[in-house]
C-alpha cells in the first residue's frame, strides 16, 4: 500500500482548540477474568489506523480534516484507587480545556467508571448508550467495585443508561436490568433493528455518551476480546444504530474498550479503528464546522 498520512494525527502538541476530536489511549488491564491483552488494545488500534482510507465511503467525508489529536497513553501504573482518581481528574481537565469530542481507547471496560463522572457533572441531562454483551451492573466482582464487570454500575445510578447487545447477565445483577434508570434491550428479544433503533432514540436524552465494548459485536466481527459471547451484532446492524444516535442526538464523547489483539490476526484492531473513525464521521456530519 502506498505510504500516506495518518487519519489519526499523532501530535500531542497540536493546539487543543484546533482539533475536533481528542483521543486518549488508556491501556489499563487489571481485572480481566478470562482472555487477557486489553493493555495492548489502544496501541494496536492506533497502529491499525495506518491502514484506513482517509475518505470514508459511507459518510462521503474526510474526517481527519476536522482535526484528530492523539494524546500519549495515560499512565496506568498507579495502584487501583490512585489510577481511577487520576483518570477522573484527567478527564475533567480534558473537558475543561478541550471544546471538541473526547474519545477514549481502552483497556478494560472498568476505565469507564473514571471517565463518566466528569461528563455527568458537565452535562446534567446526560444519558448513556451502553453497547456490550454483558450487563456490567455488578456492584462488585472478585472483591473489587472497580472490576470490568462493574463498569456501568455507578453511572447507571445517576444517569439514564440504555443497554443494547446484552446477552449475558449475572444472577447478582439481573434485578438491575430494566430497573431504576436502566433500560436494557436484551439481544435475543430485540432482533428487529428498525424497531430497536426507534426504541433507543426514544429512551435516550438529547445529550449522549457512548460506551462501546467490542464484545457487543458478534465474535465473527470482533474476535479479539477477553469475554466473547455468541449472537452479537453484525457490523452494519450496529453501525446503523450508532449512526441514528449520532444524527439525532448530541454525542459529547465515547469510549471503545476491551480490544485484545490476537496474535497473527489484525481483524479486531482494524475493525475498532474503522469504528472510531466512522463514529467521528457520523458526529461531524451532524454538526459540520
pLDDT in the model for residue 142: 82
Indicate the pairing of strand 21-26 with strand 68-70.
parallel
Ordered structural domains, the chain, with CATH: 16-286 (3.40.800.10)
The reported pLDDT for the residue numbered 18 is 77
> If you average pLDDT over residues 269-281, what whole number do you get?
97
**Residues 152-176: pLDDT tens digits?**
999 999 999 999 999 999 999 999 9
Residue 5 reports pLDDT greater than 80: no
Degrees, nearest 5: CA angle 256-275-192: 95
Closest CA to 70 of 157, 8, 158: 8
59 pLDDT above the threshold of 70: yes
Among the residue ranges 15-19, 204-208, 254-258, the one predicted with the least confidence is 15-19
pLDDT above 60 for 145: yes
Express each pLDDT in 113-128 by its tens digit: 999 999 999 999 999 9
1 has pLDDT over 70: no
pLDDT value for 17 = 58
Residue 14 pLDDT: 45
- In DSSP notation, 3-61 reads ----SSB--TTS-GGG-SEEEEEE---S---SS--GGGHHHHHHHHGGGS-SS-TTT-S
Q: Which band of pLDDT confidence, cut at 50, 70 and 90, is reported for residue 16? A: low
pLDDT tens readout for residues 194-212: 999 999 999 999 999 999 9
Query: Where does the pLDDT of residue 289 fall: very low under 50, low under 70, confident under 90, or very high at 90 and above?
Result: low
Residue 268, pLDDT > 70, answer: yes
pTM above 0.85, yes or no: yes
pLDDT of residue 144: 86
The C-alpha atoms of residue 242 and residue 105 are separated, in whole angstroms, by 17
60-100 pLDDT, tens per residue?
999 998 999 999 999 999 999 999 999 999 999 999 999 99
State the pLDDT confidence band at 8, using cuts at 50, 70 and 90.
low
Amino acid at each position: 500500500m502506498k505510504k500516506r498520512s495518518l487519519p489519526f494525527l499523532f501530535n500531542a502538541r497540536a493546539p487543543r482548540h484546533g482539533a475536533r476530536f481528542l483521543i486518549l489511549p488508556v491501556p489499563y488491564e487489571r481485572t480481566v477474568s478470562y482472555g487477557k491483552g486489553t493493555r495492548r488494545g489502544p496501541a494496536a488500534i492506533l497502529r491499525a489506523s495506518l491502514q484506513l482510507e482517509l475518505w470514508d465511503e459511507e459518510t462521503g467525508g474526510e474526517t481527519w480534516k476536522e482535526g484528530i489529536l492523539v494524546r500519549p497513553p495515560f499512565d496506568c501504573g498507579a495502584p487501583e484507587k490512585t489510577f481511577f482518581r487520576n483518570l477522573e481528574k484527567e478527564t475533567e481537565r480534558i473537558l475543561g480545556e478541550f471544546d471538541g469530542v473526547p474519545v477514549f481507547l481502552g483497556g478494560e471496560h472498568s476505565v469507564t467508571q473514571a471517565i463518566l463522572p466528569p461528563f455527568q457533572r458537565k452535562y446534567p441531562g446526560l444519558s448513556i448508550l451502553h453497547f456490550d454483551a454483558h450487563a456490567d451492573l455488578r456492584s462488585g466482582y472478585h472483591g473489587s467495585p472497580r472490576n470490568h464487570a462493574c463498569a456501568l454500575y455507578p453511572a447507571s445510578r445517576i444517569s439514564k443508561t440504555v443497554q443494547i447487545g446484552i446477552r449475558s447477565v449475572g444472577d447478582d445483577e439481573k434485578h438491575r436490568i430494566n430497573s431504576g434508570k436502566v433500560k436494557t434491550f436484551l439481544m435475543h428479544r430485540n432482533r428487529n433493528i428498525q424497531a430497536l433503533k426507534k426504541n433507543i432514540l426514544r429512551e435516550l436524552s438529547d445529550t449522549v455518551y457512548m460506551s462501546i465494548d467490542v464484545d457487543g459485536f458478534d465474535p465473527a466481527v470482533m474476535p479479539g476480546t477477553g469475554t466473547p459471547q455468541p449472537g452479537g451484532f453484525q457490523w452494519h446492524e450496529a453501525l446503523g444504530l450508532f449512526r441514528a444516535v449520532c444524527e439525532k442526538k448530541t454525542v459529547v464523547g465515547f469510549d471503545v474498550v476491551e480490544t485484545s489483539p490476537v496474535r497473527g490476526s489484525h481483524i479486531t484492531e482494524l475493525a475498532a479503528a474503522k469504528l472510531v473513525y466512522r463514529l467521528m464521521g457520523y458526529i461531524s456530519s451532524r454538526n459540520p464546522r
